[in-house]
Structure 1
């Protein structure tokens, strides 16, 4: 019988697998769990769990498939990840050994797109500023003295990265009447037109957009892609939303722009996570903060669990994987 090792603690398993999905996984093979309180981030623990396993289901905090782990699991054939990025888990050794890889990032796209929309609307209507002012105890007239508020309908919104989350966000803001620009070197003009957007260069997007939402992966060419020069291109009063990765933006430059009061921002991702209690971002009234939870809806995680089970089912029956990550694709994922 196929052995499916689930390298995730109980609290993570409960997030991704409801009773029906868990039952479906068990129908595919002998499901093996780590011992109570075991740390699958420890290589020796993971190696023991994978001994004799055909498939491993990974979650947050799992150790990578190192040479030592693979030596203990000569029959391992598939890694199915409940999240999006598989970079923390796969290794050159695992690909060389023929271990195939799939992931459930598609499940999270709508949730991230919807939170990016929620953050956009909050910034446009200055909800964050009103909330900060009222909680700080200022008088009523002072609390009402926010910068001008704007509507999404008719606004020009720039989407940086036509990723799954970028496309989900793009569709949502278009449905509410926004004009959309998109910057992505891998997107053609025809593809952008199909999405209902205008493809432009990044600098042009920054100059023309009232709202800029980041949805690019972290790659060598995207790290620090939004620095002091790029932030200076934004119009006065522009809004920046980042539900992608903190590494896309130079933090020092962003802090300087925010302290100057020229822009507002909504951030779900940070260079240091957890965000330190004394971090200056926590004290700025023109910043809306969420703790890296854009993808964390119940529906998103349930979809991810279902994708993992479906991918394992496809694999065991020799059918093509719908979400496979091949070695040559790894460098183009976040």
Structure 2
């Protein structure tokens, strides 16, 4: 049943057992304990708020936990919000519009465990003086590592070899693949110098990649400080062996890569997308991949779950993962730590480190 519950004795905010030797967390002087509704499913809560992270959350707040997040409706959420000063959110929370906020007169902070708050944050929150924060920074390293793993897999033709062997191809047939390349000296293009884009850029540079970047918000000096060359999108696509997408969801980035742009990729190039399917015309990508001229590694799709009969599933030159790039143990914990840190800053009257403004919301994914 959806509702507010307390964690069982001996369990943290995730509802998982705590080691008995863990010392208690001491509340900060001068802090008050805000009434906090944690609208995060129990499995995710255990990942975001394990052990000491969960201890801190339940020590610095008067927490009410919503267990059946999947069944959460506006009618379920409204009575729980009546006394809430802080709302901790995850994916799937209802839109916080005027009608719902009318039921939350004490609400002052919305802290999102993920990155994008666009699906549920409305202008009404800002109009009522409610602060919004998010934990996207905690996801950057995890997603960047997956993008790096995708990059290396495409350079070494791992998807083609794997598909051939799983499909029962003979050994000599399975050995056949386009030329393989090392990352050392490899021309790699990064589309979007986001948090994740910068983390990915650092990783590929550390392995010797020759990096260029396309981002309309960067200057040449900014790009140089990141160790990359600032180029146009067309130049990046035509000159890169691997193109990694890390741009936000904006009207101007809708199908940033269509048939024309994909045709600019050199033969044998690879496209890495751990960001958003919004950025690529999926039909055009399927058509280009079907020719076998380029490869791709994808974690995001127009339709999720990806239908079992989708043509991407049958292509031997495509590596697919089910939108799980951010789901590492360490990344989830970092996200929870960021949320708790932000609540502590709020409770002690200090500025937040990851606040989202209306202007930032308009320019973010």
Same fold by TM-score greater than 0.5:
yes
Please state if 1:321 is matched with 2:326.
no
Residue among 16, 33, 38 paired with 2:48: 16
User: What is the alpha-carbon distance in structure 2 between the residues aligned to residue 33 and residue 268 of structure 1?
Assistant: 30
Instruction: Confirm whether residue 4 of structure 1 aligns to residue 36 of structure 2.
Output: yes
Q: 1:312 aligns with which of 323, 343, 346?
A: 343
Partner residue in 1 for 2:145: 114
| Further displaced range: 215-224 or 14-23 | 14-23
**Structure 1 position 68, deviation (Å):** 2.1
Give distance in 1, aligned partners of 2:188 and 2:269: 10
Structure-to-structure mapping, 1:89-104, within 5 angstroms: 89-104=120-135
Q: In structure 1, what is the equivalent of residue 273 of structure 2?
A: 242
Q: Which residue of 1 aligns with 2:168?
A: 137
Whether 1:179 and 2:210 are equivalent positions in the alignment is: yes
**1:227 aligns to 2:224 (yes or no):** no
> 1:80, 1:103 within 8 Å by CA — same for their partners in 2?
yes
The answer to whether residue 330 in structure 2 is matched with residue 299 in structure 1 is: yes
Could you say which residue in structure 2 is the equivalent of 1:165? 196
In structure 2, C-alpha distance between the alignment counterparts of 1:305 and 1:288, rounded to whole Å: 30
Match in the other structure for 2:113? 82
Determine if the alignment matches structure 1 residue 155 to structure 2 residue 186: yes
Residues 104, 287 of structure 1: alpha-carbon distance in 2 compared, 3 angstrom cutoff: same
Instruction: State whether residues 40 and 69 of structure 2, in contact with CA within 8 Å, keep that contact through their aligned partners in structure 1.
Output: no
Aligned residues: 333
| 1:270-285 → structure 2 map (5 Å cutoff) | 270-285=301-316
Task: Give the structure 2 partner of residue 60 of structure 1.
Answer: 91
Distance in structure 1 (CA, Å) of the matches to 2:300 and 2:70: 25
What is the TM-score normalised by the length of structure 1?
Answer: 0.98
Partners of 1:38 and 1:216 in 2: CA distance: 29
Rounded to whole Å, the distance in 2 between the matches of 1:2 and 1:244 is 34
Deviation at 1:38, TM superposition (A): 5.9
> What displacement does 1:27 show?
1.6
Unaligned 5+ segments in structure 1 are none
Question: Is residue 27 from structure 1 mapped to residue 59 from structure 2 by the alignment?
Answer: yes
String of CA shifts for 1:236-265, please: whole Å, max 9, x gaps: 111100000001000111011101111000
Match of 1:191?
222
* CA deviation profile, 1:80-111 (whole Å, cap 9, x unmatched): 00000011221111111111000000000011
Residue in structure 2 matched with residue 204 of structure 1 by the alignment: 235
SS at match of 2:297: strand
Q: Name the counterpart of 1:123.
A: 154
Which position in structure 2 is the counterpart of 1:43?
Answer: 74
Say which of 208, 211, 218 aligns to 2:249: 218
Query: What is the root-mean-square deviation of aligned Cα atoms in Å?
Result: 1.0
State the alpha-carbon separation in 1 of the partners of residues 155 and 175 from structure 2: 15
Return the alpha-carbon distance in structure 1 between the equivalents of residues 116 and 358 of structure 2: 13
Contact 2:39 2:65 in 1 (8 A): yes
**8 A contact 1:47–1:68 mirrored in 2:** no
CA contact (8 A) 1:109 1:164 kept: yes
| Residues 33-78 of structure 1: per-residue CA shift (max 9 Å, x gap) | 22x5365641111111111110000011111212222111101000
The question of whether the paired residues in 1 share the 8 Å contact of 2:39 and 2:90 is answered with: yes
Q: SS of the residue aligned with 2:87? A: strand
Equivalent residues of 1:161, 1:182 under 8 A apart: yes
